[in-house]
Amino acid sequence: MWTLIDAVVYVLIAIPSAAHCNATLENFLLVVAIWLGPWAIILILEHLMLRRGRYNFVNWYTQHKLPVGWATVIAISAGLLGVYLGAAQSLFDGTIAALFNPPYGLDIGYALGVVLAAIAYLILRSIELRGAGR
C-alpha cells in the first residue's frame, strides 16, 4: 500500500518538475544532503571522543542500557538550523548567508551546521551521560 502511495506522490511531483528536470534534481539533492554534515559529526564525536572506539555489544540488545537520545535529536536540530541560516541556495538564502556577499549570499550552511551540531552534541551528551548514566 505504501509503495502505491509513494509512487503516486512521485508522479505528482515529477509531472510539474519535468520542464526543469536538472534544476529540480539539483535542488532535491541539496535538500537531501543538508543533514549529512550534522549527522556525520555526531557519529564521529560519539565514536572517537565519547566511546573512543570501544563498544559494549551486549548492551545493544538491552533497551534500558542504550543512550536516551535526546542529546542527538537536539544536536541534529541545531545543526539543521545552522544549515538553514547559513545556506545560500537557488531556493532561498539564509539569514546569516545573506549578510555576506550581497545580493548572492555566501553558502556557509554546511560548515555552520557541523559546528553547531558538534557544540550542541558535546554539551548535551555529557549532560545526558551524567543524568541518565548511559
DSSP codes of every residue in 13-57: HHHHHGGGHHHHHHHHHHHHHTTHHHHHHHHHHIIIIISTT---G
Asked if the model's pLDDT at residue 42 lies above 90, the reply is yes
**Paired strand residues for 93:** 88
* Maximum distance among all Cα pairs of the chain, rounded to whole angstroms: 55
Query: Within this chain, do residues 105 and 69 fall inside the same structural domain, yes or no?
Result: yes
Give pTM, 2 decimals.
0.75
Query: Within this chain, do residues 120 and 86 fall inside the same structural domain, yes or no?
Result: yes
Query: Within this chain, do residues 39 and 12 fall inside the same structural domain, yes or no?
Result: no
| CB-CB contact of 109 with 92 (8 Å) | no
Question: Residues 40-47: what's their mean pLDDT?
Answer: 92
C-alpha cell of 18? Answer: 519535468
Query: Within this chain, do residues 27 and 38 fall inside the same structural domain, yes or no?
Result: no
Domain that includes residue 41, residue range: 34-132
pLDDT band at 123 (very low <50, low <70, confident <90, very high): very high
Total domains, the chain: 2
Question: How do residues 102-114 score in pLDDT, each as one tens digit?
Answer: 877 788 888 999 9
Query: Within this chain, do residues 29 and 79 fall inside the same structural domain, yes or no?
Result: no
Angstrom distance (rounded) from CA 99 to CA 86: 9
Query: Within this chain, do residues 128 and 82 fall inside the same structural domain, yes or no?
Result: yes
pLDDT band at 120 (very low <50, low <70, confident <90, very high): very high
